[in-house]
Each structure stands twice: as structure tokens, then as C-alpha cells.
Amino acid sequence: MQQPLVGGTRSGRKICVAWLCTALWIAVIHALAGDQFSADDSSRIIGPLLRWLLRDASPEWIAATHVAVRRAAHVVEYAILALLALRALRLSFDRSTAWLAAATLAVVMVVAATDESRQAASAKRTGALSDVTLDISGGVAALVLARAVQRSRGLST
């Protein structure tokens, strides 16, 4: 439940911490978009781990699973971003659920577009519109989950 407005503002400390967490997570996302986390580099970690866990797996299965893990990472990264941004926005603004969801998706879309644009300029990475779509789907999934939790608790706005 939201903290009631006191003198027109919520706790400044909570708001600062919420935005700091959001900013730090954006920094993590941008770090993970760097050259050191390219598909070639991550395959050096994920491939051997999968081969160790599943000794009978075919090279094709290992490769497909590597791609799936990387795609799932997009969804999870941006789901976390959406939840952090939603909290920061909810603490900062006394607005409707629809407005907060739209603002959260705007944050997700800006970060995703910036991230992929940066990767497109990299020698080891490729920026892809399909990755932006995955990122946004992670944000949407988090918002749907947050709304379901809100409704299950009997909260609405």
C-alpha cells in the first residue's frame, strides 16, 4: 500500500532509494550489453555448463539452449527494470495505475532502444529490433504480474 502523502510529498528517502535502485539496474543492463557479454563470450560459459549438466545433449541442443538462455535474460532483465521503475514512479507520483503503467513502459522502451542502439554500434554485438520486443515483453509481463498481485491484495487505483 502506498504511503499517504504528507505535506504533498512522500518520503524523500524512499523515493531517492527507489530511483537509485532503478538507475543501478539500468547500469547493470548497459554493462551486460557490453562486448564482454556477446554471444561468443557467453557461449564459453553457458556451453560448458550445459555440457557438464547434460552430458548426452547434442551440440545443436546446447546451441539452441544457449540462445534460449540469452533470450530469457532479456525478458528477466527488463521485467526487473519495470518493477523497479514502477515502484519509483508510484512513490514519486500520485497517479492512476494506467498512467504508472504507461510511464513504466516508456522507461523500459527508452532503455531497451538505447541498449540496442549501443549494441548496433559495437563490433562484437548486433542491435536487433527483436531484442527490443523481448525487452518490452519482459516489462509488460512484470506489469501484468504487479497488477495481479495488487488485485489479489484488494488494492486498486
**Grid coordinates standing for 124?**
562484437
> Exposure string (b/e) for 128-153, b if CB count within 10 Å is 16 or more?
eeebbebbbebbbebbeebeeeeeee
* Predicted pLDDT at 6: 42
Identity of the residue numbered 114: T
* Predicted pLDDT at 58: 87
Domain boundaries, the chain: 12-152
* Residue 9, beta-bridge partner list: 6
What are the tens digits of pLDDT across the range 106-138? 999 999 999 988 877 776 667 678 889 999 999
- Alpha-carbon span 71 to 138, nearest angstrom: 10
Q: Give the DSSP letter string of 90-147.
A: HHH----HHHHHHHHHHHHHHHHHHHHHHHHTSSS----HHHHHHHHHHHHHHHHHHH
Query: Given a cut of 60, is residue 9 above it in pLDDT?
Result: no
The percentage of the chain sitting over the pLDDT mark of 90, rounded to a whole number, equals: 48
- Region of poorest pLDDT, from 17-26, 66-75, 94-103: 66-75
